[in-house]
Every structure is written in structure tokens, then in C-alpha cells.
Amino acid sequence: MSKKFYITTPIYYVNAHPHIGHAYTTIACDTIARRHRMLGDDTWFLTGTDEHGQKIERAAQAAGKTPQQFTDEISAEFRALWERMGLTHDDFIRTTSERHRQGVQALWRKIRDNGYIYKGTYTGQYCVSDELYVDAVGPGAPCPDCGRPTETVHEENYYFKLSAFQDQLIRLYTEQPDFIRPETRRNEVLSFVRGGLRDLSISRSTFSWGIPVPDDPKHVVYVWLDALANYITALGYGSSDPSKFDKYWPADVHMIGKEIVRFHCVYWPAFLLAAGLPLPKGITAHGWLLFEESKMSKSRGNIVRAETIVDVLGTDALRYFLLREVVFGQDGSFSFDALVQRYNSDLANGLGNLASRTLTMITRYFKGEVPYPSHAAHTPSDAAIADAARKVIADYGTLFDQYQFSRALETAWGLVSAVDKYIVENEPWSLGDKQDEESRSRLATVLYTSAEALRIVTALAHPVMPDATAKIWAQMGLGDIGKFDLTQLQWGQLHLGTKLGEVQAVFPRADKSVVERMQKMEEQSGGTGVPPATIAGGETGASPVQPSAARQPAAGTPPPAAAAKPAATIPDGKISIDDFAKVELRVAQVKTAERVKGTDKLLRLEVDLGTEVRQLVAGIAEAYEPETLIGRKIVIVANLAPRKLRGLESNGMIVAASPEGGKPVLASFLEDVPVGTRLK
């Protein structure tokens, strides 16, 4: 029997136009949904737009439109973009829709009738941008989360008894460690909740752009309660037809960006518990796409639109890049150079080249029919490819199910490289020149082996690159890849005599002008707002960033290895400024510090980076007492891949001088420096 699988994206605010940050989450979910469908699961994939609240009301005002007009337009932009990119969501929910209003009011009534809503008065600082009361004192005091000025609000509000759920939530995170992934986010949430939960104001009466509170329409429902409820209202919760809700709820995964973890992992489960509803099975938070070192966002004016990349390189290139280049869960940088470099090395020279050379040779030497892999003509190198492919099928599935997309793709592309090498070593073109039986048999075996490996990579990569893989599949004469049952993927199923279709290049090589074209398109759209020289590298001359050859694939079609060589102009033993720029050094402030049990050397620290709190494990316990570090500003390598020390994940490294034979001394500053500042 098929399993059900329900996956959601956050619903996006309509105060900004869609950009690749939004596309990132939606693409990840689309890829996961596609894989589940290929595995035969009864899959439901939901996305939508978040349209209420003061922030949207003000954005509409600034645009000289009514909130409804404004939200209609921007919501339509999101829908149109997703359609253009071929995303396969099953539903698109808008919080201004009638079905959502009904569902939210039903949820409110349920929570109220269960005794978890009461009325009270409140005076405090409100952050309009975060739509949240915050701990800040005095008119205009900055929001501790985003730094924007807060507003003093005096309101009679409805409150949700969040404090009643503290113990249940702690139990949930402890008993179900996979409820929040990755582990760093879980730890943050756990310490937040352990710090104590205050009741939450869940209505507003200072503006009206929202869903009226049942039986008290002077108030509108707090935008986060309104928004979070989308995950159930879209399934028909509170409507006359709850059949989808009965079938798909609880969600298998809510996919979100790391900045909205608290809302999803604390408030949402508490609301559901209060309503007596089942909890989602898991919440997964990914990192941010950065552009020029900071989070891509409308307010920073550093966004990149997906349309530009889709127009120039195609949706598949963007999908592959985002999932391969960024380690899911961590922040990752976007640049046009990196995109084009990845495209050329992995797609044009990698999968595309493997497909075209293998299929062209089958066309040329075997009249376009998959040849028979003669047993007599087998060598250990054929068996090695078959074994590698079997391992890839297993490993790819495991990694993918853990949402380790980058590693899954790396594994599959390892097979592409292995087959490339295998082809070069076996020289099918030389075998093809010979007419003796032995050479023909050997040629048949080499081409069968290559084609079968190509089929396996194509099937595995289909959820990531639906269009290109559908084309390769059709060129292989295998029909509609959408009908392929992924549970049946095994080595050796490529049928002999399969008649190939017409062979065409799937990923034409991109030259340097492609980067410039995309940059121009973005400048004209008012997107990135960054002068081209700072992001181009290469030929733009005035660039303060020294271009490196690794980012500049040469013209023609060099083998991937050649394209990835370091620049010849950098003397031995030196690094380029680009290399240095890869190391993200930032100022962090120590929030907590404690000894790691069972070691003399290690301390576990939680440090504030301005945008997030991280756990680090550092070997400085012999030099510093934990208490003396609290509040101290230190320097950390912020983009070091996480690693585990004594079972604890360390997300970064403290920078310290390490005198020979002496104790480490932490790097610090004479002047005060804001938390999060980057060292360059």
C-alpha cells in the first residue's frame, strides 16, 4: 500500500516580490515531493502566500493600493513564477481566501473552547517587521532580533496560554529528537523553551487587515496564528469537507528557513496541542542564501530573481546549483560565477557530456540500439562500474531522505566521473574502428555499461532536474520518465535492443558572456543593486575581487579536471584574495559556556552571531574558566563545516593564538565591535 506524504513550504509574505531565496525552499520541497511521487507515495505538496498583518497593510499603502489589490497582485506573481518553473505543488493557499478564514476561526474557537485563550491588557514594544512583541524598552527602541525601531503599543488583547505547554514541548523535543532538524536548531529551541515561556498575545486591535476574531470582530487574529494555520486550513480543516485533512494531516515535514524556527517549533505545536490536534512529524530548517555575504532580502536590496536564471540557463540549472552547492541546513553564497562554473563542470561537461558521448556512439556503432553486454568480453572495470552504481542507488536514497541533497548529488556525480574515466580508459572510439568480433563484443559491453550507468544517474536526478532528465530518458528510448517506478531501480534493467531517440545536447556549454548577461538583467530589474564589477570576477576589469581561474571555465570543452585547476598567476604557497574570502571570520559573543563532561580540554559554548545563536565546542578549557567567557566578544570561523566532538556538534571554530607549548589566547579587540561583524 502506498504511504501518504505531506510536505509544506512557508507561505511567503506578499510585501516583497519573489526571489531565489523563496525559490530555494520551494525547489527543495518540489524535489522532495517529486521523489516521493516516484517512489509511489500518495504525496501532497502545499505552498502559498501570507497576506495579512500590519506589514502588508503598510506596504500596500506605500504602493498606493488597497491591501486586497496589492496582495492579489503579488500573490499572483508567486503563482506565475512557480508555474513557469514547473513546480508541482498540489495546492496554493492564500490567507485572504474564504476557506482559510473559516479554518482559522474554527481553530480559534477550538483553542478558546478548550480553555487556552483569555483577555488581558498589554503595553509594550512591537516590531512591525517581525510582527512580534519584543523585549525592548522605550519608544523607538531597536528590535533585539532585526534591529529595526519598535513601536509602543497599548492594547487590550487576547492571550494564548503558551506557558501551559512548556513541559509538553520540552518532552516533545526530547522524546522525538527528529521533530526539529538539524540538531543545532533543536538545541536552540530547547534552550529557548527551557528559559521559560510567557503567554502570547494572539489578537490585534490597532489595525484591521486580518481575520476577525470569532465573536469579537474589533480584533483581528495575530498574523502568525493566522499564517501557521494554513498548513491545516488548506486541507479543509474547519470546512464541511475535511477529507484531505483526515488523509494527509499530520504533515510529514514543514520545510522552513532558520529565521522562523521559533514560530514553527514552539508556537505551532502549542496551538495544535491546545486544539487537541496531532503534531507534524517534523520541522526542517535550512540556512540562508547569501548574496555578497548577507542574507538575500528585499530590505537589503540584494535580491536575485529566479526569472533571470531560468531565462538564461533554465530551471534545472538553478535547481541543481542550489541543491548541490549549498549544504542544506547551512548558509550558502550565491554568485553568478559559481552558478555558471557549476553548470559547466557538472552539467555541460558532466552529465550532459556523458549522455551525448554514450548515446552518439551507440547511434554510430550500433544503429541506435542498445547493444548486448557480452559476458565473454567482461573485465573487472565493467564490474566496478556496476558495483559503484548499486552503491550509488543505496547511498543516494539514504542521503536524500536525510535531506543531504548536496552529498546525494555528489555521490551520483561520482558515478558520472567514474564512467567518464571508464570510457577514456576503454577507448570505445578505437574499438569502433575495428571490425573483429572480440572488439565488437568489448565495444558493446563498454557502451552498455556506460548507458546503464547513465540511466541510473538520470533516474536518481529526475526529482532534482525534471526537464533535462526527461529529455535524456526519451533520448535513451525509455519513454516517459514520469511513469518510472523508482523503487524498481536496479543495475542491469536497460533492455537490449532499446531503440534510442534523437540525440541532442541537453546542457549547452555556457561561456563567460552568460554571467554578464544575467548581471545586466538583474541590474535592469533593480534586483541585486550591486555594481557588476564586485560580483563578476573575470573580464570586467575593474573588479576589486581578484578573479580566479577556478571560476572561469575556458572556451571549448576541456575535461572538468582542467576547468577546476587553480589560477596559474598565483605563486606557489600563496593564496588569492578569493581564497581568503572563503573563510568567514566573524565577531561573536559568548552567551553560555560549560565544560564538556569527561574531558579536560573542551568547552561547549553558545555564541551569538547577531543573526543566530550557535553551538561551538572549543579546546580552551585549560586556558579559560567557563564563567569568565560569558559576554566576551570573540572571533570565530563562521562557515566551517560542522563537526562532532564528544557527540556535540560544533558549528564553527574559535580563533586563538596558540603559542608553542603554551595555552591558547583568544583573539579579541581593543575597541567595541558589533556582534556579527565580518573580519576582512
What is the binding site for ligand MSP (CB under 6 A)? 10-13, 21-22, 24-25, 50, 227-228, 230, 256-257, 259-260, 288-289, 295-297
Task: Output the CA torsion sign for 568, 569, 573, 575.
Answer: negative
For 341, residues 6+ apart whose C-beta sits below 8 A from its C-beta are 550, 551, 552, 553, 563
Closer residue to ligand MSP in complex, CB, 294/374: 294
**Which grid coordinates belong to 19?**
526571489
Closer residue to ligand MSP in complex, CB, 230/445: 230
CB of 562 to ligand MSP, least distance (A): 33
Closer residue to ligand MSP in complex, CB, 25/450: 25
Closer residue to ligand MSP in complex, CB, 23/588: 23
CB of 296 to ligand MSP, least distance (A): 4
Closer residue to ligand MSP in complex, CB, 226/382: 226
CB of 132 to ligand MSP, least distance (A): 12
Work out the number of other CB atoms within 10 angstroms of the CB of residue 230: 26
Residue 516: Cβ-neighbour burial (10 angstroms; 0-12, 13-18, 19+): middle
CB of 196 to ligand MSP, least distance (A): 24
Phi/psi for 643 (5° steps) reads -145, 160
Closer residue to ligand MSP in complex, CB, 11/470: 11
Phi/psi for 619 (5° steps) reads -90, 60
CB of 326 to ligand MSP, least distance (A): 9
Distance CA 626, CA 276 (A): 43
Closer residue to ligand MSP in complex, CB, 268/422: 268
Q: How many CA atoms lie within 13 A of 136 on its CB side?
A: 22
634 within 8 A of 590, measured Cβ to Cβ: yes
497 within 8 A of 366, measured Cβ to Cβ: no
CB of 24 to ligand MSP, least distance (A): 5
Helix or strand run (H / E) with residue 73: helix 67-84
CB of 345 to ligand MSP, least distance (A): 24
Closer residue to ligand MSP in complex, CB, 258/455: 258
Q: Give the residue from 360, 323, 382, 353 showing the smallest Cα distance to 561.
A: 353
CB of 259 to ligand MSP, least distance (A): 6
CB of 315 to ligand MSP, least distance (A): 17
User: Which residue shows C-alpha cell 501532497?
Assistant: 44
CB of 145 to ligand MSP, least distance (A): 12
Closer residue to ligand MSP in complex, CB, 256/506: 256
Closer residue to ligand MSP in complex, CB, 280/350: 280
Q: How many CA atoms lie within 13 A of 430 on its CB side?
A: 5
Closer residue to ligand MSP in complex, CB, 318/460: 318
CB of 11 to ligand MSP, least distance (A): 5
CB of 571 to ligand MSP, least distance (A): 37
Closer residue to ligand MSP in complex, CB, 213/260: 260
Q: Where are the alpha helices (DSSP H) in 402-436?
A: 405-426, 428-433
CB of 87 to ligand MSP, least distance (A): 14
Closer residue to ligand MSP in complex, CB, 289/563: 289
In 3-state terms the chain splits into helix, strand, coil percentages (rounded to 5) of 45, 20, 40
DSSP secondary structure code for residue 670 in this structure: S
Q: Give the residue from 463, 488, 507, 224 showing the smallest Cα distance to 342.
A: 507
Closer residue to ligand MSP in complex, CB, 306/457: 306
CA 80 to chain CA centroid, nearest Å: 21
Q: Give the residue from 612, 609, 601 showing the smallest Cα distance to 656.
A: 601
Residue 538: Cβ-neighbour burial (10 angstroms; 0-12, 13-18, 19+): middle
User: Which residue shows C-alpha cell 572480440?
Assistant: 438
CB of 609 to ligand MSP, least distance (A): 16
198 within 8 A of 298, measured Cβ to Cβ: no
Closer residue to ligand MSP in complex, CB, 104/515: 104
CB of 260 to ligand MSP, least distance (A): 5
Angle at which helix 67-84 crosses helix 20-38, to 10 degrees, equals: 50
DSSP secondary structure code for residue 350 in this structure: I
Angle at which helix 380-401 crosses helix 437-461, to 10 degrees, equals: 0
Distance CA 668, CA 333 (A): 27
CB of 256 to ligand MSP, least distance (A): 5
Closer residue to ligand MSP in complex, CB, 10/373: 10
Which letter, b or e, does each residue of 35-59 get, where b requires 16 or more Cβ atoms within 10 Å of its Cβ?
bbbbbebebbbbbbbbbbbbbbbeb
For 242, residues 6+ apart whose C-beta sits below 8 A from its C-beta are 235, 236
CA distances from 199 to 45, 117, 170, 196, 259 (A): 32, 10, 16, 10, 21
